[in-house]
Homo-oligomer: A and B are copies of this chain.
Amino acid sequence: MAPDDDATARRLTVVDQALRLFAEKGYEATSVDEIAEAAGISRRTFFRQFRSKEDVVFADHESQLTQAREFLAAAQGDPWDAVCEAVVAVFERFTQWRELAARRYRVVRQVPALREREIVTVFRYERLFTDYLREQLRGRSDLALVQFTAAVTATHNYLLRRMVRGESDATAADLRSALVAIPRDRRTSAADSDDMIVAVFPRDMPSRQVAELLARRLDTLD
């Protein structure tokens, strides 16, 4: 294990103990001293690892964001796929720490200030993905990127929230198929032939009529 992983694991132990105490005694009623004692560290070590009691609630997000950033920096191939895979990896890590995420959910929904901090934290993922796509897909419609990352992060958060509430057992595979269905801007400035055609028509239109209409429209476009 690399020194960094070790430090992350130690921090996560403190996060875990803190959330356990917050869930048991309430956020306001729990002191930093109690967290430090439960985690077997000194108050001083606590403040070397975290800036504040609030910080400890979201510390695993910092580690998640760093890992997502590193994943994207090393990613090859299609950038839209890379974002989806980064999101699935985040989800998989939260699944491993399911108890921690569930405890945080119970604490955060009772403290409005923490709920606001969570919204801000969640927004940082969206920002990371938008910045990455902008960098990778220069000249592409900026609006398409923004719509994509908004839908992608909303999908992740929706399935995660249901998981921590114990309402669903959505797996990484479920998330992956939900993400694949989100529209991407497939236009490339270089090669128009890569364009995708999207045809929408009523389910009850006779199939031969659809086929003929399409053939006629496509010939006009060709």
Show the binding face of A for B, using Cβ within 8 Å.
116-117, 119-120, 123, 142-143, 146-147, 149-151, 153-155, 158-159, 178, 182-183, 192-204, 207-208, 210-212, 214-215, 218-219, 222
Q: How many angstroms from the CA of A202 to the CA of B218 in the assembled complex? A: 12
Cβ-closest chain B residue relative to A213: B211
- Copies of this chain in its oligomeric complex: 2
Enumerate chain B residues within 8 angstroms of A147, measured Cβ to Cβ. Answer: 151, 154-155, 182
- Among B155, B192, B202, B218, the residue within 8 A (CB) of A195 is B202
A-B CB contact pairs (8 Å), 19 listed: A119-B119, A119-B123, A143-B155, A143-B158, A146-B158, A147-B155, A149-B154, A150-B154, A151-B154, A192-B203, A195-B203, A195-B204, A198-B198, A199-B199, A207-B215, A207-B219, A210-B215, A211-B212, A211-B215
- The main secondary structure of chain A at its interface with chain B is helix
**Which of B143, B194, B208, B212 contacts A202, CB < 8 Å?**
B194
- What is the CB-to-nearest-CB distance from A107 to chain B, in angstroms, rounded to a whole number? 18
- A146 to B201: give the CA distance in the assembly, Å: 23
